[in-house]
Structure 1
Amino acid sequence: MARAIWSGYINFGLVSVPVGLYSATHEHEIDFHQFQKGTSDRIRYKRVNERTGREVPYEKIVKGHDVGGGEYVIVEPEELDDIAPGKSRSLEIDTFVDLDEIDPMHFQKSYYLGPKDSGNASSYALLRDALAKTNRAGIAKFVMRGKEYLATIRADGKVLVLETMFFADEIRDPDEELGDLPRKSGAGKQLSMAVDLIEAMSGEWKPASYQDTYTERVKELVKTKHQGKEIVYSEEEPQATNPTDLVAALRASVEEARKSRGARKKTPAKKKTSRGRKKAA
């Protein structure tokens, strides 16, 4: 079984449910080290005192906040622990909201919540099933690794899922970031054809149908270079569609999408097999 990266209690009303927090995802990553160009010399990073130039051991490093004028307030790790709500062991649900009301923009990262012991499995299951039945999510805050997180707790099949979230003031205003944005298109024919294209390209959400092809290309690049060969990709960079060609491009896209969907329908569907949820890495 995976090791919990955080453990504590979900608190709602007078009920406390002991849980552990586990990673629900892992990213495709290819490790690259840094080298000086033209050599096989690794580049290393050290924690160095900028005044003395000497390396400083990790255990002797503390945090400081710049208050301006070249002054810093030094904060010890113990002081951060003392002000952490619930001593960093509480997922305090403040309210329950309808899942459909939450803008996906607020979601940050997903984790699994698992019951900490078999003696409290019933309370875990009760919360999970009640959330599933009401299509609600609990909104909570908790502290992990010296940082406070806003989070939703929702049901997903047999498991409770925690989504860390951005606070409202962490989400940037698009008008401030992007300037003037286009108003409504106003082009009735173009809009109608764009809607037709979306409908023609619509289908079921099948996560397994999407693969990380870029990572595969990077692996192939490394493998080929290791063999002393060169690898060349001839894909062209996409070009913006000229507004005068938009209607023709939309019409051709709709026809192509409909043909593609028709071909998929003619292909015999594969027999589905039941698979259990994969365990978190």
Structure 2
Amino acid sequence: MNNNKFKYSELIKTEAKRLGFLSCGISKAEFLEDEAPRLEAWLNKNMHGEMRYMENHFDKRLDPTLLVDGSKSVVSLLLNYCPSELQNKESYKISKYAYGTDYHFVIKNKLKSLLYYIQDEIGEVHGRAFVDSAPVLDKAWAAKSGLGWIGKHSNLLTQQIGSYYFIAELIVDIELDYDTPVTDHCGTCTACIDACPTEAIKEPYVVDGSKCISYFTIELKENIPSEFKGKFDDWMFGCDVCQDVCPWNRFSKPHTEPLFNPHPDLLLMTKKDWVEITEDTFKKVFKKSAVKRTKYSGLQRNIQFLKD
């Protein structure tokens, strides 16, 4: 098997490209030593807010061998979601990643195809696919496998690509040829820290998740704290500010995945349309979208918060 590590890795990367992934990197499945104290400190400071699930499976988040028996390699993949068109400027905003079909479905299917391909080409390989719905530190694995570096806003950044992409993994039980991390290219730039509407980026590389607009508009089930009134910059689902101001996103290019194209109505709707949105329109525009996570009632709550 060892003689074939490079060959198998190249096979996997070629097929990943054919399936539409932006890039693919591979790292050894092992305990994430550097991430352990960071995650512990973040949780201890309660920066996860009501996201109690972040407290669960602490060990599994840091060690993929506890998630997948006999795992030896983590195959990290990026999938572009940068849209070619943006919403109407006179509109309440949703994060670009939620314009089209829910990424969980799109990526899960691509990952299954990749795993079947690996099994067909290499033989009996066991593995599991992960798309941010399990205790896996996506960004840490992507950085470890050389796909980019974690920026000051805590998102993965890639030279010549930016950051408008999803991260996913296949954890498999074969040894492969491992990639090496890239260097940090944030330099002295603080654009993301300076632009964050709620000052959620407490210091470089540390984001207080419980103060992030994405958290308030998606994860928080209670009322949004009134102290944040007037600070949401018209974001009703998610927030892209820290990515929009990042110089590296000058290099981002529109995706080529038809399933990520938005419902035509989404791009045309104005603030008035959103205020008057009915449940039927919500279901039509967001039929298969990640926006369904916040439900019709959640979106109404967010719009009301922006409007008042």
> Which one has the bigger helix percentage?
2
For the pair shown, the structure with the greater C-alpha radius of gyration is: 1
> Which one has the bigger strand percentage?
1
RCO comparison, higher one (Cα < 8 Å, 6+): 2
Q: Same fold (TM over 0.5)?
A: no
TM-score by length of 2: 0.23
